[in-house]
Chains A and B, each alone.
Chain A
């Protein structure tokens, strides 16, 4: 598979110039990461671990201090390709309210395409298509502020996929949603990945969401601590807890049982697997 997002020895710092002398905070400390086309990667890490900063390096919002970030082979520091990069890598943020520009659903969805200078008829076509993809077509003429959180977030996603990006970075898209909104958004994300082959990078605090990805990357104080399949990551219960993270409840249960000397497999991350294993144990 082709590499799509790539970081090579990536360093990034924030500089607070209000203080005298200016205070420099190193956020990313030499990140090496390679994300393939069509992958679904979940990024975990506690608040302030640098995961959002990393995401912003992949669409040239943040430019590396040292090292390189590439999108589809394009160096993100190449200013002449800025719009190409932003079109290839869409970004969805946590607060649905603060990323919707227009008052009416379809007009917001058209915003990126208008900026790109796409022909009006083509915009119409792509907006309709994007809204159908996320299941918000029936709401195309509705006012944005009357939608539920989950619906708003799907509109935000539609506004991104109308650009036809190859990759979408989602920065805690479900953090402000209720469980049903969370389910709606997760369903949409998975569909984009499985059916349309969009590369997904999902930053989240919900372990159940991360367990649905192909690959999990754990970041702590600006460095990659763990990187692998969900099964191999979540079974490292102790390490995750030390990093201020959680594991899915079923994994925690099996871990506790193993600690108590019960013979149960340790690579359990879904309900189904857990039920099967417990059945075998207890029946």
Chain B
């Protein structure tokens, strides 16, 4: 069901990760991604994985929720895994049948890639699970604010993102409703050729577009009524400031990053 998509959904909580400054979280997530891609060996990656696990543990995000966010990318993990497994032909051979040949390097790379992708997803999901979308866009807006000087519409982009995030659940619900309604009129979305199935989407997409435009129009009006006039002279209720938690997080991440780099040099 469409309802099961959870990426980008905030899970409220009071953990140290939740309390961190969202700007710091974004920067550290970027550092974390760099860390994953820097690690050349499985040992370096394990340091990255340890970092992921510790952060996950501290965030107190339910295990089930995380599994749910991994589900949609499972095919990608399996696909890259298989690709590596069968197409890397160097190294010691484990198994050979016709054109299929599995080597130790193939297995190593397959595991390596799978772990890397899983860590990547968990790490970035942690960012969105522990940070309310508004905090997130707010932080992006602030991190990018120097770009205003070169006429990048930072506030407008951030506002668009806020609104998009706000309306995702509403539109998902609406899609479900429209789908049920068309099914009740005998629409068949599950069988037939690809072409037929694509065509079957029209009765869902058209009403969805129409209603999105209507919503957009009403929302714009409501925003105007609430004195919205662009980013100029705007203040924010929530001020971002760094605290001890952020300092600790910096040190913590730096420590792991150093570990990865050190392993790269040693091995």
Contacts and interface: CB of A to CB of B under 8 A. Distances in A.
**Chain A in direct contact with chain B (Cβ < 8 angstroms):** yes
Interface of A: 59, 61, 83, 86-87, 90-91, 93, 95, 97-104, 106-107, 110-120, 123-124, 127, 141, 143-145, 159-160, 163
Given A99-B218, A101-B219, A114 B236 contact: yes
Given A98-B215, A115-B228, A145-B169, A103 B235 contact: no
B10 interface: yes
B233 interface: yes
B132 A114 contact: no
Q: Is the interface of A mostly helix, strand, loop or mixed?
A: helix
Given A101-B162, A101-B166, A104-B132, A59 B225 contact: yes
B234 interface: yes
A119 B235 contact: yes
A56 to B, nearest CB: 8
B134 interface: yes
Contacts of A93: 218, 221-222
Interface of B: 10, 12, 132-134, 162-163, 165-166, 169-170, 173, 214-215, 218-219, 221-229, 233-239
B215 A113 contact: no
B172 to A, nearest CB: 9
Contacts, number: 102
Given A144-B166, A145-B170, A112 B233 contact: no
Given A114-B236, A114-B237, A141-B12, A99 B227 contact: no
A95 B216 CA distance: 12
A113 B234 CA distance: 9
Contacts of B215: 95, 97-98
A25 B200 CA distance: 38
Contact of B237 (A61, A87, A113, A141): A113
Nearest to A142: B12
B235 A123 contact: yes
Given A83-B227, A99-B219, A101-B163, A127 B237 contact: yes
User: Which of A86, A98, A117, A141 is packed against the most chain B CB atoms within 10 Å?
Assistant: A98
Contacts of A160: 226
User: Shortest 5 CB-CB distances between A and B: which pairs?
Assistant: A99-B222, A112-B226, A98-B218, A110-B237, A123-B237
17 contacts: A87-B227, A93-B218, A93-B222, A95-B215, A98-B215, A102-B166, A107-B237, A111-B226, A112-B228, A114-B235, A114-B237, A120-B238, A124-B237, A127-B237, A141-B12, A145-B173, A163-B227
Contacts of A116: 227
Contacts of A141: 12
Given A100-B166, A112-B228, A145-B173, 12 more contacts: A61-B221, A86-B225, A90-B225, A91-B225, A101-B162, A101-B219, A103-B166, A114-B236, A124-B237, A143-B12, A144-B166, A145-B169
A124 B239 CA distance: 11
Given A120-B235, A124-B237, A103 B225 contact: no
A101 B223 CA distance: 8
A6 B219 CA distance: 27
B133 A95 contact: no
Contacts of A145: 166, 169-170, 173
Contacts of A91: 222, 225
Contacts of B237: 106-107, 110, 113-114, 120, 123-124, 127
Given A98-B222, A117-B233, A145-B170, A103 B227 contact: no
A97 to B, nearest CB: 5
A34 B193 CA distance: 65
A112 B227 contact: yes
A257 to B, nearest CB: 44
A106 B165 CA distance: 16
A114 B234 contact: yes
A116 to B, nearest CB: 5
Contacts of A106: 237
A33 to B, nearest CB: 20
Nearest to A123: B237
B229 A83 contact: yes
A98 B250 CA distance: 40
A95 B233 contact: no
A143 B10 contact: yes
A90 to B, nearest CB: 7
A102 B237 CA distance: 13
A115 B229 contact: yes
Contacts of A117: 233-235
Given A115-B229, A124-B237, A143-B10, A103 B219 contact: no
